Structure 1
Amino acid sequence: MKYLVTGVAGFIGSQVVSRLCSLGHQVIGIDNLNDYYDVNLKLARLDEINPLVTFQFIEMDLADRDSIAALFAEQQFDKVIHLAAQAGVRYSIENPMAYADSNLIGHLTILEGCRHNKVKHLVYASSSSVYGLNSKTPFETSDSVDHPVSLYAATKKSNELMAHSYSHLYNMPTTGLRFFTVYGPAGRPDMAPFIFTKKILDGEIIDINNNGDMWRDFTYIDDIVEGIIRIQDVIPTVDVDWKVETGSPATSSAPYSVYNIGHGSPISLMDFIGAIEEALGIEAKKNFRDMQPGDVYKTYADTTDLFEATGYKAKVGVKEGVEAFVDWYKDFYKQGGYGE
Structure 2
Amino acid sequence: MTQLKPILSHLDPIIPSSTGKFKSPPPYAFHRLRFHPRLTLWSFLFLFFLLLFVICSPPAASPGGKRRSLQTTGHSRLPANWEAKARNSARPVSKSGLTVLVTGAAGFVGSHAALALKNRGDGVVGLDNFNTYYETGLKKARKTLLDRQGVYIIDADINDAVLLGKLFEIVRFSHVMHLAAQAGVRYAMQNPSSYIHSNVNGFVTLLEACKNSNPQPAIVWASSSSVYGLNSKVPFSEKDRTDQPASLYAATKKAGEEIAHSYNHIYGLSITGLRFFTVYGPWGRPDMAYYFFTKDILRGKEIKIFEGADHATVARDFTYIDDVVKGCLSALDTAKKSTGSGGKKAGPAQLRVYNLGNTSPVPVSKLVSILEKLLKVKAKKKLLPMPRNGDVVFTHANITLARKELGYKPTTDLETGLKKFVKWYISYYGSKKKSAW
Q: Cα distance 1:212–1:44, how it changes in 2: closer, same or farther (>3 A)?
A: farther
Partner residue, 2:73 = none
Amino acid at match of 2:413: G
Alignment of 1:40-55 (within 5 A): 40-53=137-150, 55=151
Alignment of 1:46-85 (within 5 A): 46-53=143-150, 55-85=151-181
Is 1:87 matched up with 2:216? no
Amino acid at match of 1:333: Y
Amino acid at match of 1:38: E
User: Deviation at 1:337?
Assistant: 3.1
Task: Check the 8 A contact 1:141/1:259 in 2, yes or no.
Answer: yes
Is 1:297 matched up with 2:397? no
Partner residue, 1:243 = none
Moved over 2 A (4+): 335-339
Task: Check the 8 A contact 2:185/2:390 in 1, yes or no.
Answer: yes
User: Deviation at 1:335?
Assistant: 6.0
Alignment of 1:21-36 (within 5 A): 21-36=118-133
For residues 106 and 290 of structure 2, what CA distance do their matches in structure 1 show? 19
Partner residue, 1:246 = none
User: Deviation at 1:222?
Assistant: 0.4
User: Deviation at 1:303?
Assistant: 0.6
Amino acid at match of 1:49: L
For residues 70 and 102 of structure 1, what CA distance do their matches in structure 2 show? 20
Given candidates 359, 368, 372, the residue that maps to 1:273 is 368
Give CA deviations for 1:129-176 in whole Å, capped at 9, x if unaligned: 000001110000000000101110000001111111011111110000
User: Deviation at 1:72?
Assistant: 1.7
Alignment of 1:196-275 (within 5 A): 196-210=293-307, 213-235=313-335, 254-275=349-370
Give CA deviations for 1:88-142 in whole Å, capped at 9, x if unaligned: 1000111000111111111011111111113331000000000000111000000
Give CA deviations for 1:269-303 in whole Å, capped at 9, x if unaligned: 11111111111011110111111221101000001
For residues 278 and 255 of structure 1, what CA distance do their matches in structure 2 show? 46
User: Deviation at 1:26?
Assistant: 0.9
Task: Check the 8 A contact 1:150/1:294 in 2, yes or no.
Answer: yes
For residues 406 and 230 of structure 2, what CA distance do their matches in structure 1 show? 29
For residues 136 and 193 of structure 1, what CA distance do their matches in structure 2 show? 26
Amino acid at match of 1:193: Y
For residues 359 and 268 of structure 2, what CA distance do their matches in structure 1 show? 32
Task: Check the 8 A contact 2:217/2:337 in 1, yes or no.
Answer: no
Amino acid at match of 2:385: D
Amino acid at match of 1:261: L
User: Deviation at 1:66?
Assistant: 1.7
Task: Check the 8 A contact 2:229/2:392 in 1, yes or no.
Answer: yes
Question: Is 308-317 or 121-130 further displaced after alignment?
Answer: 308-317
For residues 275 and 319 of structure 1, what CA distance do their matches in structure 2 show? 6
Task: Check the 8 A contact 1:175/1:236 in 2, yes or no.
Answer: no
Task: Check the 8 A contact 1:126/1:156 in 2, yes or no.
Answer: yes
Amino acid at match of 1:119: Q
Amino acid at match of 1:208: I
Partner residue, 2:279 = 182
Residue 106 of structure 2 aligns to a residue in which SS?
coil
CA RMSD of superposed structures (Å): 1.7
Residue 138 of structure 2 aligns to a residue in which SS?
helix
Amino acid at match of 1:84: A
What is the count of residue pairs matched by the alignment?
325
Residue 275 of structure 2 aligns to a residue in which SS?
strand
User: Deviation at 1:56?
Assistant: 1.5
Is 1:16 matched up with 2:116? no
- Structure 2 gap segments, 5+ residues each: 1-97, 339-347
- Structure 1 gap segments, 5+ residues each: 239-252
Task: Check the 8 A contact 1:8/1:17 in 2, yes or no.
Answer: yes
For residues 68 and 256 of structure 1, what CA distance do their matches in structure 2 show? 23
